[in-house]
Structure 1
Amino acid sequence: MAVDRLRSRHPVLDIDTELLNAPPHEALLASGAEAELLALGSRGLGTSSGLLVGSTSARTAALADFPVILVRPVGPVPDSPAGAVLLALDAGRHPQDSAISFALEEAALRHVPVRALYAWLPPGLLPTYPVVPGRHAHSPRARRAEDLLTQALLPWRWKFPDVRVEEVCLEDVPAGAVVAAARQSCLTVLGHCPRSAATGPRLGAVAHAVVRDAAGPVVLVPDP
């Protein structure tokens, strides 16, 4: 059984089991609401942009109003995965303090730095490839994007003085930039807004792309 394997691999952990008589995603949502973090397996969440289909993990992740980590089964995971914690932010829209706090706390526990990434597109540029990096690198809009990222992180640098934070501001397609950066990270953290549409539970385009394509674990932290 899965619980026996867990206990044999992690003998110092206190592991409890519970059998719930409810649809899987409802049971997970109810249990996750009482936990600090819900861990789910992920084998990819479909190809439709923003639409999560055919997966209990996908449905749960889209609706959860608490942090969820999705882990793709890619073989044995090393005890100390290399790389920084990647924090993907949309610094130009709204505060994402919950995601920032989660990322810095994880980095402190893992003794690794945080790479805070804000990828943006100039108005009028379609969010498709290819993008010419740096075309607006010295423009007022680019400097404004850098200022937004710095201001979003500033209070948290004071709260976590021992965590090194690298700020990266890119003119690029946000989804593609985050997926690419996740390849060099031990963990990817991003905020999202739980939502449900007439067609079913949905994540935003960036969150969906990262969960679908990132090889490493991804944490979705709901915006307050």
Structure 2
Amino acid sequence: MLRNITVGLDGSPESLAAVDWAAREAQLRDTPLRLVHAGRWQPRTYAPLTGTPTPSRLNDPRRDWAERLPRETAARLAERHPGLRVSAEQSAERPVTALLAASRDADLLVLGSRGLSGVTGFLADSVGLWVVARTERPVVLVRAGEGAENDHMTGDVVLGLGLENSDNSVIGFAFHAASRRAANLRVVHGWKPPPSSYGYGEAFDIEPNAELGTQVRRRLADALRPWRSKFPGVEVNEQALIGTAGSHLVDASRNAALVVIGRRNRRTPFGNHIGPVTHAVLHHVAAPVAVVPHD
């Protein structure tokens, strides 16, 4: 049985934001929290840690920092979140290997991210992209910055739902997340009319597109109907919008507590195959993003 939330820790502001997010999520789920630090990670931004340096620390400060980081972070979390069950561990493996191994025993893996514009953090180093592309467990990417403390608890949960490759694990993750937070669920589906429905330039042939839009909205409602019944306390706002799903999700995420998207499993040893929508959302959305893999 999967019994914990696991968070990657490297001492950067992004990973510390991920740790705080994961701690609050663990409390919502009443689940233990596990901190994982890979021994080969090198800190880019040293976290403010307590303690008086000893001679050994002066001789090898980076090694000492790596040993202290998980232990002292766990102690800080236990103080800030009474009742939270926290464990910390180090791995001698490389970050991707360590995080993938840790995710196998987790309900959820949480990582820090700075997105497209960052120069440090998991995504900029491709660690996050490699992990997201290969793990079979849901991953949440969390950014640091103003308002990060509140992103976990306020705002809607936004679900990006593709009807052609929709999966119950993705929809269920979003409904559970909204229910835990007592939040509204906003479901966004982007679709494009077939080329034959276009006129000259950017004009639409109104009647065929109106009919297609009705069909799309009906399919969206059908996909969500069983989950509405299962979660009657979650208010759902369905949106079927013409255009690319990635751009609509970026717009919808501006005041979101969490954005949920799916990623189809592609078992290949080459490249980071996460899909264009996932790629756009991970790089441009400021809210925490949950990527849920599915077959």
Q: Normalising by the residue count of structure 1, what TM-score does the alignment of the two structures yield?
A: 0.85
- 1:205-220 aligned at under 5 Å gives the runs 205-220=276-291
Aligned partner (choices 117, 140, 156) of residue 211 of structure 2: 140
Structure 1 runs (4+) deviating above 3 angstroms are: 131-138, 194-199
Aligned partner (choices 239, 254, 261) of residue 190 of structure 1: 261
Inter-partner Cα distance in structure 2 for 1:156 and 1:27: 35
Indicate the residue corresponding to 1:85 in structure 2: 157
1:17-55 Cα distance to aligned partner (Å, 9 max, x none): 1112222111111111111100110111589xxxx7632
Question: How big is the shift at 1:58?
Answer: 1.8
Indicate the residue corresponding to 1:168 in structure 2: 239
Question: How big is the shift at 1:198?
Answer: 6.9
Q: Which moved more, 1:6-15 or 1:177-186?
A: 6-15
- 1:99-118 aligned at under 5 Å gives the runs 99-118=170-189
Structure number with greater Rg is 2
Residues 136 and 145 of structure 1, relative CA distance in 2, 3 Å threshold: farther
Indicate the residue corresponding to 1:128 in structure 2: none
Indicate the residue corresponding to 2:81 in structure 1: 10
Inter-partner Cα distance in structure 2 for 1:218 and 1:136: 37
Question: How big is the shift at 1:64?
Answer: 1.2
- 1:40-119 aligned at under 5 Å gives the runs 40-44=111-115, 54-75=125-146, 76-78=148-150, 81-91=153-163, 93-119=164-190
Which gives a bigger RCO, structure 1 or 2 (Cα 8 Å, sep 6+)? 1
Find the residue that maps to 2:125 and give its secondary structure. Answer: coil
In 1, are the aligned partners of 2:114 and 2:124 still within 8 Å (CA)? no
1:180-212 Cα distance to aligned partner (Å, 9 max, x none): 101121110011113366762221100111111
Greater helix proportion: 2
Q: Which moved more, 1:116-125 or 1:25-34?
A: 116-125
Query: Structure 2: where are the runs of 5+ without partners?
Result: 1-68, 197-201
Question: How big is the shift at 1:152?
Answer: 0.7
In 2, are the aligned partners of 1:137 and 1:171 still within 8 Å (CA)? no
Inter-partner Cα distance in structure 1 for 2:204 and 2:186: 19
Inter-partner Cα distance in structure 2 for 1:42 and 1:143: 38
In 2, are the aligned partners of 1:120 and 1:174 still within 8 Å (CA)? yes
The code of the aligned residue for 1:201 comes to N
Q: RMSD of aligned C-alpha atoms? A: 2.6
Indicate the residue corresponding to 2:9 in structure 1: none
Residues 199 and 80 of structure 1, relative CA distance in 2, 3 Å threshold: closer
Query: Structure 1: where are the runs of 5+ without partners?
Result: 126-130
Inter-partner Cα distance in structure 1 for 2:203 and 2:173: 32
1:54-89 Cα distance to aligned partner (Å, 9 max, x none): 321221111111110000112341286432100110
Residues 6 and 55 of structure 1, relative CA distance in 2, 3 Å threshold: farther
Count residues with an aligned counterpart: 214
The code of the aligned residue for 1:88 comes to G
Find the residue that maps to 2:149 and give its secondary structure. Answer: coil
Q: Identity across aligned pairs (percent)?
A: 35
Inter-partner Cα distance in structure 2 for 1:149 and 1:212: 26
